[in-house]
Amino acid sequence: MTISIWRYSHLALAISSFLLLTLASITGIILAFEPVSEKIQPYRVNNFDGITLAQALPVLRKTYPDISELKVNASQFVQINGSDANGEKLLAYVDPLTGKILGSPKEQNEFFKWITALHRSLFLHETGRFFIGLTAFLLLLITVSGTMLIIQRQRGLKRFFTRIARDNFAQYYHVVLGRWSLVPIVIIALTGTYLSLVRFELIGTPKESAKVDFDAIRSEPAKNPADMDIFKNTKFSDVESIEFPFSEDAEDYYTFKLKTREIAVNQITGDILSEVKYPTQVLLTNLSLNLHTGRASALWAIILAVASANILFFIYSGFAITWKRLSNRTKNKYSADESKYIILVGSENGSTFGFAQAIHQQLIKAGEKSFLSQLNNYTVFPKAENLIVLTATYGLGDAPTNAGKFAALLEKHQQPQPVHYSVLGFGSHAYPDFCKFAYEVNNLLSRQTWAVPLTDVHTVNDKSPDDFSLWAEAWSQQIQIPLTILPELQSAASKRLETLTVNTAATESLKNGTFAISFQTRKRLRVKSGDLLAIYPENDYRERLYSIGIVDKEIRLSVRLHPGGLGSSYLHRLTTGEKIRAKVIKNEHFHFPEKAPEVVMISNGTGIAPFLGMVGENKDKVPCHLYCGFREQSSYEMYQSLLETNQAAGKLVNINTAFSRAGEKQYVSDLIAKDADLIGNILNKGGVLMICGSLSMQKDVIELLETICQSKTGNSISFYQSHNQIRTDCY
């Protein structure tokens, strides 16, 4: 919620000021070159900061007896004013130590004059100045709201400068450059606002002149100016201007306008006749001018120019981001009430909508009625048969702004008919709570009586086309509508097919219709237990996926034979030595965990397939517990000897079996319920739970684990799902 307040303020402020901000930034960049071009003039003497008035004033007065005034400008050029020996007007830059003339001051360049007027007042005098002042203030508010957004994005001030997860170009550089130019932009905005307030006298700058008590002026003891304390202690770098005495009478005195005060000095004795310290407002005005114009430092002027150029980039990238968000507003061909397919999206920056649009368009093309909207528009969908949720995760594993109300709406609206659902999470492993909100949505849906899982929850890391296509394949397999991958994602998604040779064909089909089949692969094929094998029984778009277990260097599949099933009948028909074309799909999230202190494997039926390979891969003998459910003892027997050999080798701590149609008639969830303490401990110490098998088993186990997590660990199950401690691969 708060993220949207800052975001809307940031956007509203940007929209209301972008025209004037563009103008002020462009003119600001140009004006930054004025101090730079001035600084390269050869009128500043070396070691200027060390020169005292005692060293310079006697020389200057001797060389120019009719000098009336001396000024030191922001570039530290010393300019004298008076008349020369011939009585001619003298206005020149001089070397304060020698009195040598270095050049003569020039009028401000006409071009810079014109740009300055445009920058300050838009040629509209006070009205223009007001709008420019207002723009500076709005820029200040934009930087405040922008800073808040970065703090939220980075999850706290401490992580302000830590790595940024890369989104799209505009998004990424908006944040990266925003962080680096924050300080100069705040300074530009703050000083611009301050100078406008001074200009409109909303901040007063009272400046009193030094008042001299003429009766107290002494004319002795006379001192050599080079020996006067005030001359010795005052550096040229502190001077703004000096008015010289008009004559040699004691009543005529020096007036030093220094950076912080004004003093009157007796020219004969060196007495300080009066001293006035400038009020803070005057000091701040001077500082603001220096900082806003860069007149005191060429380096700072360049920083200001770069910061102003960044403001232009922010205007462009800010609008690019907004455009992307707005362009995702969908116009639906079919209403929510009449649609069979409902696609709901949780997205902050719009990329998830891109994926959703692709699915939506393909369903429409296939002649289906599909409705696409955001998760916050969840309601009753009377004709819905399929719900697809695609959602990103933000903040601390939270919902995106357009999905924040989903949980409450789900409670409120029950679907009147059974609806199949499938959840696809979008996230990034750069964040600790990977796709947490998607897991939460999936867990919430699984508790609804009307909701029937169609696929396991899938996740997409950093918009990976491979991850997306994995979900698309699993979904298509269930629905029988081919979802071809977006053309722009296609190149990455299309992989080479492998030729595999059947090593052991399905010799016998057991009573319950389960069989095993193994394939020999080429030597260098990189495949691990938990990866998926995609087969194409009819050599067309129809693909079937099976979980792989690597046993004795072979790909071993466990398959349930469905009467008339496309994939299972095809595999069942294959004979030893036959070759097939298939694709190995990497399924990294379901590999045997490399660093877990303890592992729990939970399966039912053919879901045991990847675990058969994984136990063999447990070379470090990580404590590993297996909970597997079957219909009857005979289904287990085909895996028993392999599992017991691994147990004897110390790669499995225990094998817990549940038979649903024999003996105690138990489900795998009953075994887990009994070992709730053990499961809680394993999660607490960073162990990993892997679940493979049917979606209905997964639903029961997840529900049970939610209770175990809450009571034994204090975290919700989605915490462990998003931290990769609970991994599922169900179908």
Ligand X SMILES: Cc1cc2nc3c(=O)[nH]c(=O)nc-3n(C[C@H](O)[C@H](O)[C@H](O)COP(=O)(O)O)c2cc1C
Given 180, 431, 450, 570, the residue binding ligand X (CB under 6 A) = 431
CA contacts within 13 A on the Cβ side of 661: 11
- Is residue 110 within 8 A of residue 99, CB to CB? The reply is no
Shortest CB 10 distance to ligand X, Å:
14
For the residues of 502-554, what is the DSSP string, one character each?
A: EEE------TTSEEEEEEE--TT----TT-EEEE-TTSSS--EEEE-EEETTE
Given 95, 262, 348, 543, the residue binding ligand X (CB under 6 A) = 348
Q: How far apart are CA 422 and CA 415, in angstroms?
A: 15
| Of residues 77 and 426, the one with the C-beta less far from ligand X | 426
Name which of 698, 699, 700, 718 is nearest 710 in CA terms.
Answer: 718
| Of residues 9 and 55, the one with the C-beta less far from ligand X | 9
Given 101, 165, 315, 407, the residue binding ligand X (CB under 6 A) = 165
- Is residue 36 within 8 A of residue 302, CB to CB? The reply is yes
| Of residues 94 and 344, the one with the C-beta less far from ligand X | 344
Residue 465 near ligand X by CB under 6 A? no
- Cβ count near 224 (within 10 Å): 10
- Is residue 512 within 8 A of residue 634, CB to CB? The reply is yes
Residue 349 near ligand X by CB under 6 A? yes
Shortest CB 335 distance to ligand X, Å:
24
- Is residue 93 within 8 A of residue 105, CB to CB? The reply is yes
Cβ-closest position to ligand X: 427
Residue 433 near ligand X by CB under 6 A? yes
- Is residue 683 within 8 A of residue 675, CB to CB? The reply is no
Binding mask 136-155 for ligand X (x = CB under 6 A): -----------------x--
Q: How far apart are CA 13 and CA 10, in angstroms?
A: 5
Segment contacting ligand X by CB under 6 A, of 136-144, 294-302, 426-434, 495-503: 426-434
Given 167, 271, 440, 700, the residue binding ligand X (CB under 6 A) = 167
Give the footprint of ligand X on residues 108-127 (CB under 6 A). none
Given 147, 352, 374, 376, the residue binding ligand X (CB under 6 A) = 352
Residue 442 near ligand X by CB under 6 A? no
Name which of 393, 392, 458, 396 is nearest 421 in CA terms.
Answer: 458
| Of residues 378 and 536, the one with the C-beta less far from ligand X | 378
Name which of 364, 349, 422, 417 is nearest 389 in CA terms.
Answer: 422
For residue 71, what are the contacts with CB-CB under 8 A and spacing of at least 6? Answer: 78, 79, 81, 240, 241
Residue 226 DSSP code: G
| Of residues 173 and 431, the one with the C-beta less far from ligand X | 431
Shortest CB 150 distance to ligand X, Å:
9
Residue 428 near ligand X by CB under 6 A? yes
Give the footprint of ligand X on residues 368-407 (CB under 6 A). 392-395, 397, 400
Shortest CB 402 distance to ligand X, Å:
9
Dihedral, 464, 469, 470, 474 alpha carbons, nearest 10: 150
Beta strands 89-94 and 261-266, pairing class:
unpaired
Given 121, 351, 402, 477, the residue binding ligand X (CB under 6 A) = 351
Shortest CB 683 distance to ligand X, Å:
20
Angle formed at CA 280 by CA 275 and CA 285, multiple of 5 degrees: 110
Residue 12 near ligand X by CB under 6 A? no
Shortest CB 153 distance to ligand X, Å:
4
| Of residues 32 and 435, the one with the C-beta less far from ligand X | 435
Given 119, 257, 295, 463, the residue binding ligand X (CB under 6 A) = 463
- Cβ count near 564 (within 10 Å): 7
- Cβ count near 665 (within 10 Å): 10
Q: Which residues contact ligand X (rule: CB under 6 A)?
A: 153, 165, 167, 347-352, 392-395, 397, 400, 426-428, 431, 433-435, 463
